Amino acid sequence: MVSLSHLWAVLLSTSLFLFFLHKWRRSNSPEPRRRLPLSPPKLPLIGNLHQLSSAQHRSLQSLSHRYGPLMLLHFGKVLVLIASSAEAAREIMKNHDLIFSNRPQLSIASRLFYNTRTKRVQSYCRVREEETSLMVDKIRKLGASSKPVNLSDVMASLTNDVIHRVVLGKKYGSGSDFKETFAEFDGLDERVERAAKKMDRFLEVVIEEHRVRERREGDGVELDFVDILLDFQRENASRSPIEDDTIKAVVLEFRPERFLRMRIDFRGQHFDLTSFGAGRRGCPGITFTVVVDELALAKLVHNFDFRLPNGAKMELNKFDFVIDGIYKKPFAICFSSHISLSKPKMVSLSHFLVMLISTCFFLFFLHKWRRSHSPKPRTRLPPSPPKFPLIGNLHQLSSVPHRSLQSLSLRYGPLMLLHFGEVPVLIASSAEAAREIMKNQDLIFSNRPQLSIASRLFYNNRDVSFAPYGEYWRQIRSICVLHLLSNKRVQSYRGVREEETSLMVDKIRRLCASSKTVNLSDVMTSLTNDVICRVALGKKYGLGSDFKEAFAEFGVLLGILPLWEYIPWLRWMRRFDGLDKRADRAATKMDGFLETVIQEHRVRERREGDGGELDFVDILLDFQRENGSRTPVEDETIKAIVLDMFAAGTDTTYTALEWAMTELIRNPEIMKTLQNEVREVAGNKDEIDEQDLEKMSYLKAVMKESLRLHPPVPLLVPRELTQDTTVLGYDIASRTRVMTNVWAISRDPSLWKYPEEFRPERFLGMDIDFRGLHFELTPFGAGRRGCPGITFAVAVDELALAKLVHKFNFRLPNGAKMEELNVSESNGITIHKKCPLLVVATSHVF
Ligand code: HEM
């Protein structure tokens, strides 16, 4: 029975969980194809506001140095895109100008500036000349009395006066209602509201005065902006009515301080200089501004000489200078000093306490947030699909992960960072990324992650495949490459291959004779198993043997990916799921078997040069005896290596053969072409031998094409990065796991024509090979950790394939059509056919 309190607890925690899931989903819900610009780390609530100094453009510039020319910031909850390069500016103000153009009232501005741009601006020529002359007189008067001139003030009142006359019809100088109210506009909320009301009353009066005098276009007098707008209002009353409020808003737009800056070429054509913006929303007042500025500047430099005060050099303070001995206050201050501080208010105790507590809270959360969000500032991570808490991206992997990863890579790019639980996993899905990992930076990508079950099965990772990168791995890998899998050694097993493939043909022939359906998958599994058994152990251990049973359990255990391997806090499950015990039992059984094999080999003691063909155990024991002092090889190492040859060699070699036969049976035309080639090369011979294979170029093309479409290990064996690095411009942290999706690469339409089709012809006359030099085709991996068993595997597969198509014709049982052949894939590290390949074979009559 569940108590009421339990029920409540469950209900409450479920609701909490659902609430947070909902919140998380909402905040992590980018559309799948979205690739957001980089964002500097943000604080809760205020977003990136804390990163803006009072000179915003400067803080944004330094952020852009770190996060690139296009950044996505959050001003509180408002999303703000910051463009800091000419390219980005062109995108916004030219290429995508239309959709970036949202702001109202442009038609009125166009009436004021564009339609009659030069004419209208020209009409204010008198105003400009009068006002600039007044400015010169003012400076001259001050110069004569040797008083310091605040040049910024002088220029501000020039533009102020020009604009007032042009917009409102007369000047409103300092001390006027208009000027004072304007000064309040950059203040804080309540002050702005008060100022807005005051300004509204002022403009109301101005509009009424203009209405009374009613001056119109064509009256022959110089119209100010209010005249023009009222005229526009009257004329367009029925078509597009504009209200008094709109007129007031437009008038307010003309704030004098906008109009005194130096500009070079800025008319919106060159995106490296767009001081006025560009495109549809570019400033319509360029001409207006430029004529005032140019005239003012011309008069200033014409009438005065400039030098710095107290003989200072220009570099010391760019902003201070003297006109006729008069000190000038910095330009920069004039343009940013509109915020006037209100009088300090008395703070009550309760206010003080609230502020203190909220500051403490703020600092506490800031500290927490900083600790959890401490990426290095320059970190540029590869794109990641949205992930769930705890499980990361595990839910996005289907039972055939290479396919789900391929479709994710189509959305997120050739280099993605996923999280399998808490483990970061880099997924490479392009030839370029594969080259970076397995060639250019192979050394630091050569470690293997330590998987606990594999470690129990392979004597604590003393095999080649799972051994961590280091001296031990180097030694045993070189033993494998030089002594077990070298070309010469593989050649020495030719007899084994020829015998075993002939036995396979006999077996199928017997089944043909009794008109039985042939399970080709079984036949091919026992072929590769028997070849590797004879080569590694000296004799076959078939169905029912201790070895076969223990090995089957190995296969199952290696295919299990326990959740606790990826989610550390689930480690407690390890005690209950029984996996460790199961792995230990299988390892002990296998160890007992291998111990017996080694002892048998020790007794017969066959050595290099004895004349007989040596198996892997012979070779390794021989090596142990000869190199005992220099490179000691323990029995456990021998067992781990031999076991590895089975684990890495049997399934993969059989899978490659199975897919090749499957594709040939699905494509009768290609099967026919191959049979013709093989039968022609074989001629009158009853049995094909390995020498014949050299003349079968189509057979080799079939093998390559099959490995392209169906790489037996589609994600290769995972690797682990040993130090921080950068791949294709992205920063990858040390200890990140790495998977290369060779399945996706060898179906990449930018590399392969008709990538989904089985077309062996594509390899005829093409150099591309699978031996790790061409990164568009690497079913065996490449570099230091690349497969050392290529020659061995290809020798078995090519001979078996040639013999099969030489001796038999195949069709599907029960008259099934080729299209009905089930080609679904199994799961696991090695991907073979889910259902066995069943065929009806008939002996070819020569
Ligand atoms: C068609 C057959 C085969 C395929 C597709 C295949 C594929 C692979 C792949 C993809 C890797 C990992 C490469 C990497 O991480 O870059 C690998 C590693 C390995 N393969 Fe194969 N393999 C095949 C046959 C064999 C055979 C027949 C043997 C031995 C008899 C063998 C022994 C190994 C070993 C020992 C490694 C580990 C290398 C290391 O980590 O240093 N493979 N193989």
Residues 521, 838: Cα–Cα separation, whole Å: 8
Of 708, 678, 699, nearest to 795 by C-alpha is 699
Q: How far is ligand 1, taken at its centre, from the CA of residue 464, in Å? A: 10
- 299, two tokens: 């008069």
- 135, two tokens: 């400015």
Q: Where are the beta strands (DSSP E) in 716-774?
A: 719-720, 725-727, 730-732, 737-740
The DSSP bridge pattern shows strands 808-811 and 423-428 to be unpaired
What band does 575 get if pLDDT is binned at 50, 70 and 90?
confident
Helix 616-626 to helix 579-604 angle (10° resolution) is 70
Residue 337, pLDDT > 80, answer no
Cα–Cα distances (Å) from 307 to 227, 314, 316, 323, in that order, read 44, 8, 12, 7
Among 141-150, 281-290, 790-799, the range scoring the smallest mean pLDDT is 281-290
Residues 405, 718: Cα–Cα separation, whole Å: 14
Q: How far is ligand 1, taken at its centre, from the CA of residue 649, in Å? A: 7
- 124, two tokens: 């204010």
Residue 128, pLDDT > 90, answer no
For 137, list phi and psi in degrees, rounded to 5.
-60, -45
Of 168, 164, 179, nearest to 130 by C-alpha is 164
Looking at the CA of residue 535, tell me the nearest atom of ligand 1.
30
Most confident stretch, 313-322, 372-381, 783-792: 783-792
Among 113-127, 226-240, 316-330, 793-807, the range scoring the smallest mean pLDDT is 316-330
Which residue's CA lies nearest to atom 31 of ligand 1?
789
Among 72-76, 289-293, 573-577, the range scoring the smallest mean pLDDT is 289-293
Q: How far is ligand 1, taken at its centre, from the CA of residue 332, in Å? A: 68
Residues 448, 467: Cα–Cα separation, whole Å: 7
The pLDDT of residue 339 = 30
- As a whole number, mean pLDDT of residues 40-46 equals 83
Residues 218, 525: Cα–Cα separation, whole Å: 99
The pLDDT of residue 719 = 97
The pLDDT of residue 239 = 65
Which residue's CA lies nearest to atom 9 of ligand 1?
780
Which residue's CA lies nearest to atom 37 of ligand 1?
465
Q: How far is ligand 1, taken at its centre, from the CA of residue 385, in Å? A: 30
The pLDDT of residue 475 = 94
296-324: pLDDT as tens digits:
777 777 777 665 555 555 543 443 444 43
Q: How far apart are the first and last CA of the chain?
A: 78
Which residue's CA lies nearest to atom 43 of ligand 1?
787
Q: Could you tell me which residues are beta bridge partners of residue 73? A: 80
The pLDDT of residue 743 = 98
For residues 161 and 142, the model is more confident at: 161
Q: What does 598-647 look like in DSSP terms, one character per residue? A: HHHHHHH---TTSSSPP-HHHHHHHHHHHTTTTS---HHHHHHHHHHHHH
Most confident stretch, 135-149, 219-233, 361-375, 718-732: 718-732
Residue 363, pLDDT > 90, answer no
Q: What does 722-735 look like in DSSP terms, one character per residue? A: -S-EEETTEEE-TT
Residue 23, pLDDT > 70, answer no
The pLDDT of residue 105 = 38
The answer to whether the CB of 669 falls within 8 A of the CB of 828 is no
Which residue's CA lies nearest to atom 21 of ligand 1?
787
Residues 357, 614: Cα–Cα separation, whole Å: 81
- 719-720, strands of its sheet edge to edge: 415-420, 423-428, 737-740, 719-720
Residue 769, pLDDT > 60, answer yes
The pLDDT of residue 821 = 92
Annotation-wise, does 787 bind a ligand? yes
The pLDDT of residue 11 = 61
Tokens 């070189």 belong to which residue? 478
Q: How far is ligand 1, taken at its centre, from the CA of residue 527, in Å? A: 18
Looking at the CA of residue 655, tell me the nearest atom of ligand 1.
1
For residues 740 and 162, the model is more confident at: 740
The pLDDT of residue 2 = 46
Residues 617, 614: Cα–Cα separation, whole Å: 8
Residues 438, 444: Cα–Cα separation, whole Å: 9
183-233: pLDDT as tens digits:
665 445 566 677 778 888 888 888 888 888 777 777 777 788 888 888 888
For residues 701 and 1, the model is more confident at: 701
545-559: pLDDT as tens digits:
888 888 889 988 988
- As a whole number, mean pLDDT of residues 704-732 equals 97
Q: Could you tell me which residues are beta bridge partners of residue 420? A: 392, 423
476-523: pLDDT as tens digits:
999 999 999 999 999 999 999 999 999 999 999 999 888 889 999 999
Which residue's CA lies nearest to atom 17 of ligand 1?
787
For 810, list phi and psi in degrees, rounded to 5.
-125, 145
Looking at the CA of residue 473, tell me the nearest atom of ligand 1.
41
Host H or E run for residue 80: strand 78-83
The answer to whether the CB of 696 falls within 8 A of the CB of 802 is yes
The answer to whether the CB of 533 falls within 8 A of the CB of 539 is yes
Q: How far is ligand 1, taken at its centre, from the CA of residue 373, in Å? A: 40
- As a whole number, mean pLDDT of residues 694-721 equals 97
pLDDT > 70: percent of the chain: 79
Mean pLDDT of the chain: 82
Q: What does 18-31 look like in DSSP terms, one character per residue? A: HHHHHHHHHHT---
Angular region, 486: left φ>0, alpha ψ -120 to 50, beta rest: beta
Q: How far is ligand 1, taken at its centre, from the CA of residue 790, in Å? A: 7
Residue 342, pLDDT > 60, answer no
The pLDDT of residue 91 = 87
Residue 410, pLDDT > 80, answer yes
Q: Could you tell me which residues are beta bridge partners of residue 719? A: 738
Looking at the CA of residue 781, tell me the nearest atom of ligand 1.
16
For residues 349 and 425, the model is more confident at: 425
The pLDDT of residue 42 = 85
- 487, two tokens: 């070309």
Q: How far is ligand 1, taken at its centre, from the CA of residue 786, in Å? A: 7
| 483 DSSP 8-state letter | I
**Residue 306 corresponds to which amino acid?**
F
The pLDDT of residue 27 = 55
**Residue 496 corresponds to which amino acid?**
V
268: number of Cβ within 10 Å: 20
The pLDDT of residue 432 = 97
Q: How far is ligand 1, taken at its centre, from the CA of residue 764, in Å? A: 26
Most confident stretch, 9-23, 46-60, 128-142, 815-829: 815-829
Angle at 704 between CA 699 and CA 710, to 5 degrees: 120
439-477: pLDDT as tens digits:
999 999 999 999 999 999 999 999 999 999 999 999 999
- 723, two tokens: 């130090």
For residues 290 and 473, the model is more confident at: 473
Mutation probe of ligand 1 site: the residue of 482, 703, 721, 780 with most atoms within 8 A of C-beta? 780
Looking at the CA of residue 793, tell me the nearest atom of ligand 1.
27
Angle at 680 between CA 676 and CA 686, to 5 degrees: 110
Q: How far is ligand 1, taken at its centre, from the CA of residue 645, in Å? A: 9
Of 271, 263, 253, 269, nearest to 287 by C-alpha is 263
Looking at the CA of residue 783, tell me the nearest atom of ligand 1.
16
The answer to whether the CB of 415 falls within 8 A of the CB of 730 is yes
- 103 CB contacts (<8 Å, ≥6 apart)? 281
- 140 CB contacts (<8 Å, ≥6 apart)? 303
The pLDDT of residue 117 = 41
Helix 520-537 to helix 546-559 angle (10° resolution) is 110
Residues 78, 730: Cα–Cα separation, whole Å: 28
Give 828: exposed, middle or buried? Use CB within 10 Å, 0-12, 13-18, 19+. Answer: middle
Q: How far is ligand 1, taken at its centre, from the CA of residue 611, in Å? A: 29
Q: What is the ipTM of this complex?
A: 0.98
For residues 194 and 816, the model is more confident at: 816
Q: How far is CA 772 from the centre of its chain?
A: 25
pLDDT > 90: percent of the chain: 46
Which residue's CA lies nearest to atom 19 of ligand 1?
787
Pocket of ligand 1 (CB under 6 A): 464-465, 477, 480, 485, 644-645, 648-649, 652-653, 656, 712-713, 716-717, 719, 779-781, 785-789, 792-793
Q: How far is ligand 1, taken at its centre, from the CA of residue 723, in Å? A: 25
Q: How far is CA 170 from the centre of its chain?
A: 60
Mutation probe of ligand 1 site: the residue of 483, 652, 769, 829 with most atoms within 8 A of C-beta? 652
The pLDDT of residue 421 = 94
